[in-house]
């Protein structure tokens, strides 16, 4: 029997493929401080940002490009751009996590369009697709696949909020504004979705 190592009360889930918690106000302030250090050319600060966000950003980029090698290249481009353009970030535009996600998404779409120019008609892209590429699925181990399937089984009103909070780095407040929902509703849906996810995984893993 496998165990589910998670603090469900706080929403910090410490299992593969779902190991990023929504950013709190304190997290956002810490991230802003990291960007200030990047502006001051502190390479350790960039390393700390990489350690915090590389998995999240790689997941997003791979969803768009469906090619692991190109996703790795674009991820490096994202942090080069972060190093060179950190001074363009402004807190009024949102959290640093959202800013990094925007860079990653734009770089990935630029690469997708550049590839399309070489091989065929231009391609447009908006949000990452829900259907994962076979290469992405193949890169997951059995436990990670269990988690992805459990996510897929959730109602979309819960799954979308969880994915955007944990995989795209949106805060609860940003999600409330994004979906025109009360903040309490966002928190309730995320928590109920996490509880359902836990129940699905515990039931499945007890059978193994």
138 belongs to a structural domain:
yes
Q: Could you list the residue range(s) of the whole structural domain that residue 189 is in? A: 12-206
In sequence order, what DSSP letters do the residues of 8-27 get, joined into one string? Answer: TTTTEE-BTTB--PPP-HHH
The number of domains in the chain is: 1
113 belongs to a structural domain:
yes
The confidence score (pLDDT) of residue 145 equals: 65
Answer yes or no: are the C-beta atoms of 22 and 168 closer than 8 Å.
no
**Residue numbers of the chain with a pLDDT score lower than 70:** 1-23, 117-145, 166-169, 203-208
The confidence score (pLDDT) of residue 189 equals: 93
- For CA atoms 126, 129, 133, 136, the dihedral sign is positive
- For CA atoms 51, 57, 63, 68, the dihedral sign is negative
121 belongs to a structural domain:
yes
6 belongs to a structural domain:
no
The confidence score (pLDDT) of residue 168 equals: 61
Distance CA 128, CA 60 (A): 7
The three-state secondary structure class of 127 is coil
180 belongs to a structural domain:
yes
The confidence score (pLDDT) of residue 47 equals: 93
The confidence score (pLDDT) of residue 33 equals: 94
Task: Give me the phi and psi of 9, to 5 degrees please.
Answer: -65, -40
Return the bridge partners of 15, or none: 18
Answer yes or no: are the C-beta atoms of 157 and 186 closer than 8 Å.
no
7 belongs to a structural domain:
no
2 belongs to a structural domain:
no
The confidence score (pLDDT) of residue 16 equals: 38
75 belongs to a structural domain:
yes
- For CA atoms 92, 105, 45, 43, the dihedral sign is negative
CATH code for the domain in which residue 135 is found: 1.10.1740.10
């Amino acid at each position: 029997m496998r165990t589910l190592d998670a603090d469900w009360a706080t929403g910090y889930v410490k299992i593969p493929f779902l190991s990023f918690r929504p950013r709190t106000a304190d997290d956002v302030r810490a991230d802003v401080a990291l960007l200030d250090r990047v502006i001051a050319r502190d390479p350790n600060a960039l390393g700390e940002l990489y350690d915090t966000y590389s998995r999240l950003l790689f997941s997003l980029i791979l969803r768009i490009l469906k090619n692991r090698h190109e996703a790795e290249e674009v991820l490096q481009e994202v942090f080069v751009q972060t190093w060179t353009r950190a001074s363009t970030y402004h807190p009024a535009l949102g959290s640093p996590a959202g800013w990094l996600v925007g860079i990653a998404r734009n770089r990935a779409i630029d690469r997708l369009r550049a590839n399309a120019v070489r091989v065929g008609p231009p391609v447009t892209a908006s949000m990452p697709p829900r259907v994962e590429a076979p290469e992405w699925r193949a890169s997951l181990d059995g436990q990670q696949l269990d988690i992805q399937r459990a996510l897929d089984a959730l109602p979309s009103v819960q799954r979308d909020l969880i994915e955007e909070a944990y995989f795209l780095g949106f805060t609860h407040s940003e999600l409330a504004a994004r979906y025109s929902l009360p903040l309490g509703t966002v928190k309730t849906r995320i928590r109920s979705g996490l509880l359902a996810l836990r129940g699905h995984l515990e039931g499945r893993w007890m059978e193994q």
